[in-house]
Structure 1
Amino acid sequence: MRNEGAVLKSQFATMMNVTPGRVSQWISEGKIDGAALEGEGRSARINPTVAREQLKERLNIDQRLGLNGLSTRLEAPVLPLPEPKASTFEPEDTVETKIKQEKLFQVQLQTERLLEERRANRGFYVRAADMRAEVAGVSSKILATVEGMLPEIAAELAAKLSIPNRDALHILREKFREARQRLAEQFKIEAEGAAETVEDLDTYDEPQRPQ
């Protein structure tokens, strides 16, 4: 098998006739890994020959089909990316090529929108407001539990420090109110900057409009 040079995720997506987001999903799900990857994170490159063989083994047949008849190119040979043309003028088919690229880009966007809707319907997203409310409820229960323990803690401190019990309880409650106020302000700041929804999967690259 002839190995091709490593390419960017976006270039591999073009070879496979899918979106860069789908390539990121394959990587996060372990369908592309090991010898197929060079580097990590967004800067990682992909060995197209090795990656294609991994996908042949790991993808289900229904995952290979895309929107409007588009399909993942698993059987076709890995083709090298075209070299940039040195000519200073555009050939006659450039306009037609750009139109085709734009249509493909629009199809990719539509595919991503449908995927987002499907994932939202299947519960991959959680409304941030609901999650914040749940966290706030748990936090309130914890604070209430701690506050209920203050008299007991104050009694132990008073006994060890030989001070009146009411003085120890007063100090503890004052410090508790200050801590609770700081937490409330911090939660408010974080809530104002939070997104409307939270995704429980790794994020994916947005489709890039062809140049």
Structure 2
Amino acid sequence: MQTMSKGDFARECNVTPGRVSQWLSEGVIGLDCLDGEGRNARIIVDRAKAQIALRRDPGQAMGNGLGTRLDVGPVEQDPSDGPQRVQKRDDVAHQIQLERLEQEKRRNRRETIDEQERLGTLVPAGEVRAQMTRLAQQVDEANGAMLADFAAAIAARFEIPQRDVLHELRRVRTEKKASEAERARGRAQSMTETVEMVVGEGADA
């Protein structure tokens, strides 16, 4: 069973002594990894490394903890621990690590989506639909307003009542709008509810 002082263990793992003290205070290194008590306690190297690999925060592990050395040999079991106790403790630690890793992934996804929205490469679908609806209404209103001008020009050219021309133009426009609306509904029904999009660094725009 190889043991080291806290300072030597810090050098062994390529971290600062402060990081080792933090691991101890947060329970990343458990009491079962200490040989002795108080300031003179020494760290059981392989057991401590195994616990750090399981319990440390995934964000720290993927960030400034990339240089941490945690290569371990076979971990010597504490004689006071039965096989079931050791297995249960390791299973719990592993589950905690998986949950922390999943939380880190979700946080990274949220940050990536926020960044894409700030850059304008990702826009909420509801906002796009609202903007397109407003634009379509504005175009339709502008076209409707032009009918009076069209009717006046036609009436003057062919010497017929402007009111009759305007009525006919409005009738044809209404029929065309209804026909186009029906075609649009057919196209919309053929579209999927959602579209899968890869969001992240290097993803195609």
TM-score, normalised with respect to structure 2: 0.37
Larger Rg belongs to = 2
Q: Give the TM-score of the pair, scaled to structure 1.
A: 0.37
